[in-house]
């Protein structure tokens, strides 16, 4: 479905003493609340926004910037728009297995995955990643720490922790799933990011941007939209650090996928992996060309959906997920949604729902059904079918997945 709503942020820009500035906000849904619209307007009024702000169908209010927004900037980057879960994203691979080969009782498989992959705040007892993975990351990180030694004080047992967290899940909405597609083929799908150190990098540079309060492009309507201007030392340092965290997140998912496969292989006959595999970010920034300009594109809860590019759009636990192929829609800056999107806060979900509700809504799925994950109940999320219907101009569905097992942090 095409753009359903366009808002011109210039119409009331004078409220913020910034007359004459404001780009359109192009929204691929009508399911958006007033607070998210006001948050988007603040971003759209920044003088360094290129062309327009694109808003995906899973949009909802975020911290700093709106989740589900795609923000193209010229000569500046907003650290809070990238956020603290830098490089958070998805990894999925199809196995050479049929649903008929799944055991009737999946509890042992879930237990073995949870033993193999630390969840929540846990980390490996020993470093699991190979030296060929760690060495280049370590070298680049040392360069970053030399310029910003305060980062090292933000993470307990710094060197051991970031290395031992490679191949770990984390908490919140991060997950590991076994899924079955429309052809009864089995997939492994997981969702995680840059763990503790990525959080530290995001937090550190967000606060640095607020402290420096660079004003090359004029007034900033919200301290959370503090930015680094290209040409400043902090801009260069942030780009270096955020790219490190994004690479770390990618390697974390790759390492975790190998551990999950090790955990499940004893439960199945020998199988090979399909060439159908995807590893993509949905909280990140990178340079791209759009509408004739080289810009920094920040995707805050959105994935890249360039022409023929594969991506992953997960639903909530208990609903469908999708492997998609991008259509390269220029109005979305070649982007699409990163999931269903929350329709209520975690605290509200905990007030409204009980473990019994969770058990009912995840019937038939091997997963936790206790109060610790009630905030992840499907009813706390938007309808994934409607989210997908709103972005038929952005992606086409390649595979529809339904989970049969879900590991949560």
Determine whether the annotation assigns residue 196 to a binding site. no
Cα–Cα dist 213/364, whole Å: 52
Determine whether the annotation assigns residue 347 to a binding site. no
Determine whether the annotation assigns residue 321 to a binding site. yes
Measured in degrees and rounded to the nearest 5, phi and psi for residue 165 equal: -85, -5
Determine whether the annotation assigns residue 317 to a binding site. yes
Determine whether the annotation assigns residue 235 to a binding site. no
Cα–Cα dist 179/121, whole Å: 25
**Distances in whole angstroms, Cα of residue 304 to Cα of each of 25, 52, 285:** 18, 17, 11
Cα–Cα dist 303/366, whole Å: 28
Determine whether the annotation assigns residue 314 to a binding site. yes
Q: By the 8 A CB rule, do 96 and 272 touch?
A: yes
Determine whether the annotation assigns residue 332 to a binding site. no
Location of structure tokens 């790759």: 254
Residues 6+ apart with CB under 8 A from 201: 86, 151, 194, 241, 242, 244, 245
Determine whether the annotation assigns residue 240 to a binding site. no
Beta bridge partners of 321: 401
Determine whether the annotation assigns residue 159 to a binding site. no
Determine whether the annotation assigns residue 315 to a binding site. yes
Determine whether the annotation assigns residue 399 to a binding site. no
Determine whether the annotation assigns residue 176 to a binding site. yes
Task: Catalogue the active-site residues.
Answer: 338
Determine whether the annotation assigns residue 175 to a binding site. yes
Among 204, 115, 194, CA closest to 161 = 194
Q: Give the residue numbers of the binding site for GMP.
A: 173-177, 282-283, 314-317, 321, 338-341, 408
Q: Give the residue numbers of the binding site for Mn(2+).
A: 85, 174, 191, 282
Q: Give the residue numbers of the binding site.
A: 85, 173-177, 191, 282-283, 314-317, 321, 338-341, 408
């Amino acid at each position: 479905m095409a753009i359903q709503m366009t808002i011109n942020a210039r119409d009331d820009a004078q409220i913020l003493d910034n007359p004459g500035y404001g780009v359109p906000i192009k929204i691929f849904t009508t399911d958006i609340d007033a607070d998210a619209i006001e948050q988007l307007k603040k971003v759209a009024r920044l003088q360094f926004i290129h062309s327009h702000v694109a808003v995906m169908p899973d949009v909802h209010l975020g911290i700093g910037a709106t989740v589900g927004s795609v923000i193209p900037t010229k000569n500046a980057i907003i650290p809070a728009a990238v956020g603290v879960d830098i490089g958070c994203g998805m990894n999925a691979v199809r196995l050479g297995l049929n649903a008929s080969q799944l055991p009737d009782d999946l509890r042992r498989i879930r237990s073995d995955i949870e033993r193999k992959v630390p969840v929540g705040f846990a980390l490996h007892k020993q470093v699991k990643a190979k030296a060929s993975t760690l060495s280049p990351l370590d070298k680049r990180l040392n360069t970053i720490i030399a310029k910003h030694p305060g980062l090292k004080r933000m993470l307990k047992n710094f060197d051991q922790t970031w290395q031992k967290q490679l191949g770990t899940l984390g908490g919140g909405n991060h997950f590991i799933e076994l899924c079955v597609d429309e052809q009864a083929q089995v997939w492994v799908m997981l969702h995680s990011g840059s763990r503790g150190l990525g959080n530290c990098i995001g937090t550190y540079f967000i606060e640095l941007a607020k402290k420096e309060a660079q004003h090359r492009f004029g007034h900033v309507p919200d301290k959370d939209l503090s930015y680094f201007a290209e040409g400043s030392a902090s801009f260069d340092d942030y780009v270096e650090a955020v790219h490190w965290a994004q690479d770390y997140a990618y390697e974390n998912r790759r390492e975790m996928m190998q551990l999950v496969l090790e955990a499940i292989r004893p439960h199945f006959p020998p199988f090979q992996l399909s060439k159908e595999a995807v590893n993509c970010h949905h909280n990140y920034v990178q340079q791209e060309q759009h509408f004739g300009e080289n810009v920094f594109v920040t995707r805050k809860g959105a994935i890249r959906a360039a022409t023929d590019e594969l991506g992953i759009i997960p639903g909530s636990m208990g609903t469908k997920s999708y492997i998609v192929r991008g259509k390269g829609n220029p109005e979305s800056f070649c982007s699409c949604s990163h999931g269903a999107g929350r329709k209520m806060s975690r605290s509200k979900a905990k007030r409204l729902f009980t473990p019994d509700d969770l058990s009912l809504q995840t019937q038939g799925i091997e997963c936790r059904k206790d109060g610790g994950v009630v905030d992840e109940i499907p009813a706390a999320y938007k309808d994934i079918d409607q989210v997908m219907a709103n972005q038929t101009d952005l992606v086409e569905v390649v595979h529809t997945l339904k989970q049969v097992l879900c590991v949560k942090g």
